[in-house]
């Protein structure tokens, strides 16, 4: 894993956006794997700013999102469908029919998982997958213990994940209990992966990611097996790792 250390959240957002813009300029019909959550908000803001100032076009770009809650109406303000439309898609020129999320309202969620997996294949696979990380090491909604061989599937959300995401809802009871997520093998099939990590709350897990061997109890450690992963982390997120002896060996950038 290549590590890019940046000063703060602003620099993280700018750096990550720059790499996404580069990808879209190189390959206008790229398939972008997109993420939700708090960390990536600044990246979408940067991409929107760039789209308005420099006219980077997403007209031919396709997108697939990592995950979606089960049971929220698509237009519920906390559905990831709403999140993506409100915070990104409606501000750029991406075509609605080119944007994809799992359907958390499907009658048959197992079939929906299969459909989503086939869709990613039909699009030709993911060129660049953007990832955040949960405090417990989850990627997408793949909680600790998820098989590294998993494809798109239904997950029961860890209580800690529901608590972490409760800040977006009126109360913890309103946070859905289940979600559909790309599996770990689905994520790993992306040609390139960018993991963004910001803030003190992520410092312990980021340190574990770099210092721990590969283990299904820390889903993100699977990324060590991927040949093209860039981690962008800010000073606060790196604060625990920076205290480790020999940590500089881990830095490639």
Residue 12: CB minimum distance to ligand F6P, A: 11
Q: How far is CA 174 from CA 46, 106, 159, in A?
A: 30, 19, 13
Of 51, 138, 234, 235, which is the active-site residue? 138
SS3 87: helix
Q: Is 9 in the site for ligand F6P (CB under 6 A)?
A: no
Of 46, 50, 68, 143, which is the active-site residue? 143
Q: Is 89 in the site for ligand F6P (CB under 6 A)?
A: no
Q: Is 44 in the site for ligand F6P (CB under 6 A)?
A: no
Q: Is 69 in the site for ligand F6P (CB under 6 A)?
A: no
Q: Answer for the pair 226, 195: CB distance below 8 angstroms, yes or no.
A: no
Q: Answer for the pair 35, 68: CB distance below 8 angstroms, yes or no.
A: no
Q: What angle (nearest 5°) sits at the alpha carbon of residue 233, between those of residues 230 and 234?
A: 155
Q: How far is CA 220 from CA 143, 244, 250, in A?
A: 10, 20, 16
Active site residue 136: yes
Q: Is 63 in the site for ligand F6P (CB under 6 A)?
A: no
Q: Is 36 in the site for ligand F6P (CB under 6 A)?
A: yes
Active site residue 138: yes
Candidate list 161, 189, 190, 236; residue touching ligand F6P; CB under 6 A: 161
Q: Is 141 in the site for ligand F6P (CB under 6 A)?
A: yes
Q: Which window, 10-18, 133-141, 147-155, 187-195, contacts ligand F6P (CB under 6 A)?
A: 133-141
Which 8-state DSSP code applies to residue 179? E
Per CB under 6 A, which of residues 174..193 are in contact with ligand F6P? none
Residue 245: CB minimum distance to ligand F6P, A: 28
Query: Considering only CA atoms, which of 97, 35, 34 is closest in space to residue 60?
Result: 97
Q: At what angle do helices 41-54 and 9-26 cross, to 10 degrees?
A: 50
Catalytic residues: 67, 136, 138, 143
């Amino acid at each position: 894993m290549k590590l890019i250390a940046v000063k703060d959240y602003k620099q993280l957002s700018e750096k990550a956006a720059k790499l996404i813009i580069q990808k879209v300029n190189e390959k206008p019909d790229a398939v972008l794997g997109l993420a939700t959550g708090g960390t990536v908000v600044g990246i979408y803001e940067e991409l929107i700013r760039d789209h308005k100032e420099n006219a980077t076009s997403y007209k031919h770009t396709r997108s697939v999102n990592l995950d979606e809650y089960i049971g929220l109406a698509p237009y519920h303000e906390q559905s990831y469908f709403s999140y993506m439309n409100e915070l990104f898609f409606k501000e750029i020129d991406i075509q609605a029919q080119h944007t994809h999320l799992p359907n958390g309202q499907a009658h048959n969620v197992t079939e929906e998982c299969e459909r989503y997996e086939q869709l990613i294949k039909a699009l030709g696979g993911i060129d660049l997958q953007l990832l955040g990380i949960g405090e417990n090491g989850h990627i997408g909604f793949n909680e600790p213990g998820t098989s590294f061989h998993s494809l798109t599937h239904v997950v029961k959300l860890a209580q800690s994940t529901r608590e972490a995401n409760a800040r977006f809802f009126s109360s913890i009871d309103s946070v859905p209990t289940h979600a559909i997520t790309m599996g770990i093998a689905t994520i790993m099939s992306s040609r390139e992966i960018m993991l963004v990590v910001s803030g003190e709350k992520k410092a312990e897990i980021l340190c574990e990611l770099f210092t721990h061997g590969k283990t299904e109890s820390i889903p993100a450690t699977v990324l060590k097996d991927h040949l093209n992963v860039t981690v962008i982390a800010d000073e606060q997120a790196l604060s625990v790792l920076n205290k480790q002896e020999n940590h500089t060996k881990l830095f490639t950038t």
